[in-house]
Structure 1
Amino acid sequence: MGRPKPRIIQQQHRDAASKLDVLIIGAGLGGLGAAISIALTGHSVHIIEAASKIGEIGAGIQVLPNSSRVLFSWGMEEALKKHATWPKQCNYIHWKGKQISHMDFHEYAEELGTPFWDFHRANLHLELLNRAKELGATLEVNSKVASIEYETAEDGRTIGVAVLEDGGKRKADLIVGADGINSRCREILLGRADPPVLTGDLAYRLLLNTEDMMKDPELRTFIENVNYVLRGGKQFNMVLLVPDDIPPGQNVAPGNVAEMQALFADWDPRIPKLLALCQSVSKWRLCIRPNLNPTWSHESGAFTILGDAAHATLPYLASGAGMSLEDGHVLGLCLGRLTGTSDAGKKQALKVYERCRRKRTERVVERGNLQQHLYHVHDGPEQEERDRLLRAFSRFNGRGKPAGKEELSEMGVRDEMDPFPWRWHGVGKWLLTYVCEGDVE
Structure 2
Amino acid sequence: MTLHVGICGAGIGGVLAAIAIARAGAQVTVLEAAAELGEIGAGIQMTPNAARLLKKYGVDKAIGENLVSFEELNMRRKDGTPVGYTPISRVENALGQPWWLVHRHHLHTGLVDVARASGCTILTASRVTSLDYQSSHDGKVTVSTEAGAQHTFDLLVGADGVNSVVRKAIFPSIAPAPPTGNCAYRAIVPYAEIRKHAELRPLVEKLTMEVWMGHDAYIISYPISAGKDFNMVLSHHRDPPVHQVQEIDMQELRDEYKDFDPRIKKIVDMIPSAQRWPLLYVGPLESWCSPKKNVVLIGVSPACILFSHILKTFSLTMPTQDAAHAMTNHMAQGAATSMEDGAFLATCLKHHIQSPTSLPLADALSVYEQGRMPKAALKQQVSFMNGAIWHLPDGPAQQARDRAMSPELKNEPLLRSPNLYGDPRTVLEVYGYDAEAHAEEEVAAFLKKPGMMDRKTGVEKVQADKVMNWFLDDEQKFRPKL
Q: Which TM-score band (shorter chain)?
A: 0.7 to 0.9
Instruction: Output the CA distance in 2 between the equivalents of 1:143 and 1:31.
Output: 14
Letter of the aligned partner of 2:375 in structure 1? R
Instruction: Output the CA distance in 2 between the equivalents of 1:267 and 1:337.
Output: 53
CA contact (8 A) 1:306 1:327 kept: yes
Instruction: Output the CA distance in 1 between the equivalents of 2:190 and 2:359.
Output: 54
Deviation at 1:343, TM superposition (A): 12
Partner of 2:62: 79
Partner of 2:387: 372
CA contact (8 A) 2:86 2:408 kept: no
User: 1:146 pairs with 109, 129, 149, which one?
Assistant: 129
Whether 1:188 and 2:187 are equivalent positions in the alignment is: no
Deviates more, 1:195-204 or 1:229-238: 195-204
Instruction: Output the CA distance in 1 between the equivalents of 2:39 and 2:436.
Output: 32
Q: TM-score, normalised by structure 2?
A: 0.79
Alpha carbons of 1:287 and 1:425: their partners in 2 closer, same or farther (altered >3 Å)? same
Gaps of 5+ in 1: 1-16, 404-414
Give runs of aligned pairs for residues 35-434 of structure 1, distance below 5 A: 35-150=18-133, 157-225=138-206, 226-227=208-209, 228-244=222-238, 250=244, 252-293=245-286, 295-307=287-299, 308-338=322-352, 339=354, 345-392=360-407, 397=411, 403=415, 418-425=417-424, 427-434=426-433
Partner of 2:213: none
Partner of 2:480: none
Alpha carbons of 1:161 and 1:314: their partners in 2 closer, same or farther (altered >3 Å)? same
CA contact (8 A) 1:163 1:169 kept: yes
Deviation at 1:266, TM superposition (A): 2.1
Instruction: Output the CA distance in 2 between the equivalents of 1:343 and 1:286.
Output: 42
Instruction: Output the CA distance in 2 between the equivalents of 1:129 and 1:237.
Output: 23
Instruction: Output the CA distance in 2 between the equivalents of 1:111 and 1:204.
Output: 33
Partner of 1:411: none
Deviation at 1:392, TM superposition (A): 4.9
Deviation at 1:150, TM superposition (A): 2.6
CA contact (8 A) 2:38 2:108 kept: no
Letter of the aligned partner of 1:422 in structure 2? Y
SS at match of 1:124: helix
Letter of the aligned partner of 2:435 in structure 1? C
SS at match of 2:258: coil
Deviations 1:13-48 (A, max 9, x none): xxxx2x211000001000001000001011100001
Alpha carbons of 1:315 and 1:247: their partners in 2 closer, same or farther (altered >3 Å)? closer
Deviation at 1:253, TM superposition (A): 2.8
Letter of the aligned partner of 1:272 in structure 2? K
Deviations 1:189-228 (A, max 9, x none): 2133523344211111100011110111232222223241
Q: Percent identity?
A: 33
CA contact (8 A) 2:297 2:323 kept: yes
Instruction: Output the CA distance in 1 between the equivalents of 2:164 and 2:10.
Output: 13
Instruction: Output the CA distance in 2 between the equivalents of 1:398 and 1:26.
Output: 45
Deviations 1:99-156 (A, max 9, x none): 0011111111122111110000100001001111111111112222222213676xx6
Partner of 1:435: 434
Deviation at 1:259, TM superposition (A): 1.4
Instruction: Output the CA distance in 2 between the equivalents of 1:111 and 1:377.
Output: 30
CA contact (8 A) 1:107 1:398 kept: no
CA contact (8 A) 1:52 1:141 kept: yes
SS at match of 1:180: coil
Letter of the aligned partner of 1:290 in structure 2? G
Instruction: Output the CA distance in 1 between the equivalents of 2:271 and 2:264.
Output: 11
Deviation at 1:61, TM superposition (A): 0.3
Instruction: Output the CA distance in 2 between the equivalents of 1:163 and 1:341.
Output: 28
Deviations 1:67-114 (A, max 9, x none): 101111112232233211111111110011100011111111122111
Deviation at 1:344, TM superposition (A): 6.9
Alpha carbons of 1:332 and 1:376: their partners in 2 closer, same or farther (altered >3 Å)? same
Deviations 1:376-407 (A, max 9, x none): 11101111111122225667x565xx74xxxx
CA contact (8 A) 1:254 1:281 kept: yes
Letter of the aligned partner of 1:386 in structure 2? R
Letter of the aligned partner of 1:41 in structure 2? A
Alpha carbons of 1:276 and 1:328: their partners in 2 closer, same or farther (altered >3 Å)? same
Deviation at 1:60, TM superposition (A): 0.4
CA contact (8 A) 1:393 1:425 kept: no
Instruction: Output the CA distance in 2 between the equivalents of 1:426 and 1:42.
Output: 36
Deviation at 1:164, TM superposition (A): 2.5
Instruction: Output the CA distance in 2 between the equivalents of 1:206 and 1:304.
Output: 34
Instruction: Output the CA distance in 2 between the equivalents of 1:290 and 1:388.
Output: 34
Deviates more, 1:21-30 or 1:347-356: 347-356
Instruction: Output the CA distance in 2 between the equivalents of 1:53 and 1:328.
Output: 23
Letter of the aligned partner of 1:335 in structure 2? L
Letter of the aligned partner of 1:217 in structure 2? A
Q: CA RMSD in A?
A: 2.2
Deviates more, 1:318-327 or 1:279-288: 279-288
CA contact (8 A) 1:420 1:426 kept: no
CA contact (8 A) 1:91 1:101 kept: yes
Letter of the aligned partner of 1:194 in structure 2? A
CA contact (8 A) 2:351 2:359 kept: no
SS at match of 1:316: coil
CA contact (8 A) 1:88 1:104 kept: yes
Deviation at 1:433, TM superposition (A): 1.4
Alpha carbons of 1:141 and 1:196: their partners in 2 closer, same or farther (altered >3 Å)? farther
SS at match of 1:333: helix
CA contact (8 A) 1:206 1:282 kept: no
Instruction: Output the CA distance in 2 between the equivalents of 1:270 and 1:202.
Output: 23
Q: TM-score, normalised by structure 1?
A: 0.86
Letter of the aligned partner of 1:378 in structure 2? P
Deviation at 1:53, TM superposition (A): 1.8
Alpha carbons of 1:22 and 1:341: their partners in 2 closer, same or farther (altered >3 Å)? farther
Aligned pairs, number: 404
Instruction: Output the CA distance in 1 between the equivalents of 2:6 and 2:240.
Output: 34
SS at match of 2:330: helix
Letter of the aligned partner of 2:269 in structure 1? A
Gaps of 5+ in 2: 210-221, 300-321, 441-482
